[in-house]
Amino acid sequence: MLKIPPREGPRPKTTPCAPHTQISQNPDARFHRAFKDRAFDFPFVTRQPSMISVPGAEALCLKHGHGRGCRKAFMIGNEFAHVHPPEDGSLHMMLPEEAVPQIVDLGWAEPHPMAAAGMIPSTAVMVYGPRNEVEIETVLELLRLSYDFACGKLGRVDSVVL
């Protein structure tokens, strides 16, 4: 069961269009590095340049045969999330449709502008970059939810408790 606390403080400023970028409250290099050191540790995940994001973004992709989630669990190919470069620090990920409004309401994420416009699945969100050790743990929990969604492990996603 997932327990996500509300994010402290106001939301960061972000760009209203693609490329969708976090432009305030960016994590410092130490926290960005600490987050990335753990973000790619999920089983059967490969780390590679994103096929859909800005230069320098690193994708979390499932190895062939392990992506058993629905099509809405992936951005492109087997990429289910990517971490933006250090100057931004945020990440995009695919989350179960039923969980998106709750995570947005808790202040951790916002819909991708292209999702809000109906151009990509509504499961695409920006999760704000973690600003401290506690936030790293929360963002890793959200990334685990995205990973489980991509692996097809969730079953009934409406039973996810946030």
- Beta-sheet strand order (sheet of 124-127): 45-49, 58-62, 79-83, 91-94, 124-127, 109-111
pLDDT tens string for the chain (162 positions)? 568 999 999 999 999 998 999 999 999 999 999 999 999 999 999 999 999 999 999 999 999 888 888 999 999 999 999 999 999 999 999 999 999 999 999 999 999 999 988 999 999 999 999 999 999 999 999 999 999 999 999 864 444 444
Q: In whole angstroms, give the CA distance from residue 7 to residue 88.
A: 18
Class of the CATH-defined domain 29-153: alpha beta
Q: Which residues contact 13 (CB under 8 A, 6 or more apart)?
A: 22, 23, 24, 25
The pLDDT score that the predictor gives to residue 66 is 87
The pLDDT score that the predictor gives to residue 155 is 62
Phi, psi of 34 (to 5 degrees): -65, -40
The pLDDT score that the predictor gives to residue 64 is 87
The pLDDT score that the predictor gives to residue 1 is 52
